[in-house]
Chains A and B, each alone.
Chain A
Amino acid sequence: MAIQISLFNKKKKIRPDGLGKVTGALKYLTDLSFPGMLYGKILRSTEPHAEIQSISVDQAKQLPGVRAIVTYKDVPGLNGFGLIFPDQPVLCEDRVRYVGDAIAAVAADTIEIADAALQLIKVEYKKLPVIVDPEEALHPNAPRLHPDGNLLHRAYYSKGDVEEGFQSCSHIVEEIYELPRQMHAYMETEGGVIVPEVDGKLTVYVGTQHGFKDRYQLSRILNMNETDIRIVSSPMGGSFGGKDELNIQPYGALLALATNCPVKIHQTRRESVRAGLKRHPMKITMKTGVDDSGKILSHKVKILADTGAYATLGPAVLDFSVEHAPGPYVIPNIEIEGLSVFTNNGVAGEFRGFGGNQVTFALEGQIDRLAEKLKMDPLEFREKNLRQVDSPGPLGQKIAPTSGARDVLEAIKEKLHENTNNSHLSDQWKVTGTGVAISIHGGGLGVGRIDPAGGRLSFTKEGKIEAAFGFEECGQGLLAVIETLVMEEFKCKEDDIRIVVGDTDSVPISGSSTASRATSMVWNSIQRMKETFRDEILERASRVTDLPVNELTMGPNGIWLTDESLCISYVELAEKTLNKPLLKVETSFNFPVSPDAVVDGSHFLYAFSSVLARVEVDLLTGKVKVLDLEQAIAAGPVVSLLGYQGQIEGGGIMALGYSLMEEAKMENGAYVNDNFDTYLIPTIQDVPFVMNVEAIEKLQEGDIYGPRGVGEIGTIAVAPAIVKAIHDATGCWVNKLPVSREFLLEQMATRGEKRWV
């Protein structure tokens, strides 16, 4: 059986950034101010689709206190951005494609003046037909939103022969699943300060998930050398994928350069909603068939994703959905086609789970429906079709051997067993039910993609062990991961360590803080550096102390003589070796990829989860309340206990919101709910008061890859578990999120008239 830990019993370690957070002393980048700082505002399109006939800024320029206004004419380099290809104009010249498109930006002495100036900028539009539906966008006669048409990306995979497979099936389920546009809803909206430095360089204090990528994109836009731009990207008040792409940086930079003053932009919530990324709405058609014994024989999937107006990471998200469409199941005949389509809706892009959430909802829905048809226990049915330790990955590629799928299934079986008894109903108009779902989730960017990793350890002049990584602290707990791993490796104390992240001028290249990769890559980096670093520091200590190196060891405060006495402190060692070159060890490598994968983006390292949800459904209103949410996670060893627990619980509740209440509705290309009064995320009253997270830390013997990240896995299998629990309670299947109470009430009403007394 797997090594299991109850997270409650492990040592809880206080995060290095905790003190500043609980006291309010920590300065987020949107809290910064600089002498002579101006305030920037961005004028966004009022139209979801239009030609721009003219832009007049004359009147706005006259407004006293306005320091600069920039339009497309003022972009010195490439007027475009985008993580994969730069199809989104920084400032639109002749056409707008969604209501977040930027047309001008203003820097002024106060926010109020900047706001007033925006009102004075006159833009004449010629409205164009608005495409709000991806199916409509694919119609041959639909207006073309981009030169190559409206299909951003097609992803395809097949093996065996699905049609033949269906011939041999005794049961087939075919369903359409619809998933909503979800908002990241990070508490800190996009913003920061962009500062022109005296030497002509530019410092950008704005959160992002990949500082070097921002630097690259900005250098292209500003026509500046990358090395003349410094990105300071941490800390952040949440990101969840939403701040990986550029947001306000180009506008702040253009305005700072135009005025030679620091410029602060901090988007209001409404501005953030309008311009920011969302999770892809998807319509997924799945046809899945089984034989009499319960073996899945054939699985045919069609995914249609509404990617909005621009590409950003749309293609990669679709690839991820396609890859995860077979899930952790072994299926002989598979055909998956995904289309990601441009529309005039809000731009969809990277969001925690990265396309896995949508497709897992559909897949697990299929599994539960098939189990019902087979009259088989849903867990037994899953078990029958589950991947083995050495099974290939979902698209047939070689992956790191793992028993994760089976381990999470076993774990949830236990939980189900414990959870079945305790429902005591206080109300005749309420029913309860339980559901289980499982998931698989790849880490890293995948094969065929530039996915560098690395880090640096140094021993500073002040006697600190400095760990530097090109990652960002978004809130996920990166700093705690680094601190914990360095402490464990070198047996040193918190005070002995200095952590450097989120500053392109002082960190090595580590790749992006995305794709559940940072924890994994920090661990791997330290493994690669630890021996050299330890040998070197002990060697230096040996020379200074005249003690034999093989009797020295690293420990708290300094170097110890065979674990018994401190023979020299780190500070002293630093002082006595000041004349020597700085002790510095660096590593760089690539995220491990599958040796034989043929489909771009497919993965090598996977994490697994299983979820148990128990819900109460109100028969009078259709309201669903989640009473219990338990997750079992197989992602290798736990590095930082509170971080792990927080990621899984937090991810679970984000997914609870996705399941039951969250939808960024658009009508004719405009957002309907644009702030937290109408876009609803779970409050403390919507969550189970107690949640359980079980970590399955086991790795296969010989696994050299260490802990997998857990940033995303906690969000994946929650929705299907909740929906199965609703089915268990009411007999109603739900295919569309967020679960409509209205739909449930209607469905339940068809089951006969109520007996009131």
Chain B
Amino acid sequence: MGMKEHAEIMTPPKMEISLTINGTNVVLQVPPTKRLVTILREELHLTGTKISCEVGRCGACAVQMNNQLVNSCLVMAYQANDTSIVTIEGLAGEELDPIQRAFLEEGGFQCGYCTPGMVMAVNALLATNPSPSDEQIQEALSGNLCRCTGYGGIIRAVQKVITNNNQAI
């Protein structure tokens, strides 16, 4: 409705970007500096990715881009072009991911607002390092703030995943 009337004034330049989100290819016309977090939450309604500090200092918006953890608030649309993104919504298949299950069982969350980003950070860690040391767990999660748990439940959840993995082998 209102958007047409002010086309000249408030319409940013747009570019076409193509990216894979949770396995589905998406083509979008967006301003090149539009942030990935906004694209996810507002264009695609993937609200599992949260927004909290918007300067990459809390990890609530963390997703994986080409298998690497990034803060989606610090990724501009042009930087996400031709990439593959996995958000929290793309993590579980038919069953919960073992990380999500461990978070449930060990109380790795309370308000849950940091949880999607935290789970993605754990996923990024365990994908490259299935048996991390305590220090490696701490380093890998150091960019994800949690104000509720004091990290105790999160640490226990990660340890549980590692133990289960090791037993499975």
A interface residues, Cβ below 8 angstroms from B? 12, 14-15, 17-28, 30-31, 33, 63-65, 67, 109-110, 112-113, 116, 184-189, 235-238, 240, 266, 268-269, 474-477, 642-643, 645-647, 649-654, 656, 675-677, 681-685, 687, 689-691
Other-chain residue from B6, B45, B107, B119 in contact with A65 (beta carbon distance below 8 A): B6
Contacts of A20 in B (CB 8 A): 112
Q: Write the B40-51 contact mask toward A (1 if CB under 8 angstroms, else 0).
A: 011001111111
Could you tell me the distance between the alpha carbons of A187 and B50 in the complex, rounded to whole angstroms? 9
Task: Decide if B116 touches A24 in the complex (CB within 8 Å).
Answer: yes
Contacts of B137 in A (CB 8 A): 684
Task: Decide if B153 touches A646 in the complex (CB within 8 Å).
Answer: yes
Residue of B nearest to A475 (CB): B111
Task: Decide if B52 touches A188 in the complex (CB within 8 Å).
Answer: yes
Decide if B144 is an interface residue (CB 8 Å cutoff): yes
Interface residues of B in 106-148 (CB under 8 A from A): 106-116, 119, 134, 137-139, 141-148
Task: Decide if A238 touches B147 in the complex (CB within 8 Å).
Answer: yes
Task: Decide if A677 touches B111 in the complex (CB within 8 Å).
Answer: no
Task: Decide if A649 touches B153 in the complex (CB within 8 Å).
Answer: yes
Contacts of A110 in B (CB 8 A): 3, 10
A38 to chain B minimum Cβ distance, whole angstroms, is 9
Task: Decide if B110 touches A235 in the complex (CB within 8 Å).
Answer: no
Interface residues of B in 82-101 (CB under 8 A from A): 87-89, 91-92, 96, 100-101
Could you tell me the distance between the alpha carbons of A216 and B150 in the complex, rounded to whole angstroms? 35
Could you tell me the distance between the alpha carbons of A580 and B54 in the complex, rounded to whole angstroms? 54
Task: Decide if B105 touches A12 in the complex (CB within 8 Å).
Answer: yes
Given contacts A21-B109, A684-B138, contact A67 B2 (CB under 8 A): yes
Task: Decide if A23 touches B92 in the complex (CB within 8 Å).
Answer: yes
Decide if B28 is an interface residue (CB 8 Å cutoff): no
Known: A675-B54, A690-B155. 19 other contacts (CB 8 A): A22-B100, A22-B108, A24-B49, A24-B88, A30-B51, A186-B113, A187-B52, A187-B147, A238-B110, A269-B52, A475-B148, A642-B106, A642-B107, A643-B107, A646-B149, A676-B57, A677-B55, A684-B137, A684-B151
Given contacts A684-B141, A689-B134, contact A23 B89 (CB under 8 A): yes
Task: Decide if A24 touches B89 in the complex (CB within 8 Å).
Answer: yes
Task: Decide if A268 touches B145 in the complex (CB within 8 Å).
Answer: no
17 residue pairs A–B, Cβ–Cβ below 8 Å: A17-B112, A22-B103, A24-B47, A24-B115, A65-B10, A67-B2, A109-B2, A237-B50, A642-B107, A642-B153, A643-B107, A649-B150, A650-B147, A682-B150, A683-B145, A684-B141, A685-B139
Residue of B nearest to A66 (CB): B2
Other-chain residue from B1, B54, B104, B148 in contact with A238 (beta carbon distance below 8 A): B148
Contacts of B49 in A (CB 8 A): 24
Could you tell me the distance between the alpha carbons of A25 and B90 in the complex, rounded to whole angstroms? 11
Decide if B37 is an interface residue (CB 8 Å cutoff): no
Decide if B154 is an interface residue (CB 8 Å cutoff): yes
Could you tell me the distance between the alpha carbons of A238 and B60 in the complex, rounded to whole angstroms? 13
Task: Decide if B155 touches A188 in the complex (CB within 8 Å).
Answer: no
Contacts of A240 in B (CB 8 A): 147
Task: Decide if B50 touches A14 in the complex (CB within 8 Å).
Answer: no
Could you tell me the distance between the alpha carbons of A476 and B110 in the complex, rounded to whole angstroms? 6
Could you tell me the distance between the alpha carbons of A642 and B51 in the complex, rounded to whole angstroms? 26
Task: Decide if A63 touches B3 in the complex (CB within 8 Å).
Answer: no
Other-chain residue from B5, B114, B138 in contact with A187 (beta carbon distance below 8 A): B114
Could you tell me the distance between the alpha carbons of A650 and B153 in the complex, rounded to whole angstroms? 9
Task: Decide if A681 touches B145 in the complex (CB within 8 Å).
Answer: yes
Could you tell me the distance between the alpha carbons of A647 and B104 in the complex, rounded to whole angstroms? 16
Contacts of B145 in A (CB 8 A): 185, 187, 676, 681, 683
Contacts of A645 in B (CB 8 A): 107, 152-153
Contacts of A27 in B (CB 8 A): 47
Task: Decide if A19 touches B2 in the complex (CB within 8 Å).
Answer: no
Residue of B nearest to A640 (CB): B107
Contacts of B153 in A (CB 8 A): 642, 645-646, 649
Contacts of A15 in B (CB 8 A): 104, 107
Given contacts A651-B150, A691-B152, contact A18 B10 (CB under 8 A): no
Given contacts A23-B88, A113-B10, A187-B111, contact A687 B106 (CB under 8 A): no
Task: Decide if A649 touches B149 in the complex (CB within 8 Å).
Answer: yes
A237 to chain B minimum Cβ distance, whole angstroms, is 3
Task: Decide if B96 touches A675 in the complex (CB within 8 Å).
Answer: no
Contacts of B116 in A (CB 8 A): 24
Task: Decide if B142 touches A684 in the complex (CB within 8 Å).
Answer: yes
Residue of B nearest to A644 (CB): B107
Residue of A nearest to B87 (CB): A24
Task: Decide if B6 touches A63 in the complex (CB within 8 Å).
Answer: yes
Q: Give the residue among A17, A112, A683, A689 with the most B Cβ atoms within 10 A.
A: A683
Contacts of A643 in B (CB 8 A): 107, 110
Contacts of A656 in B (CB 8 A): 150
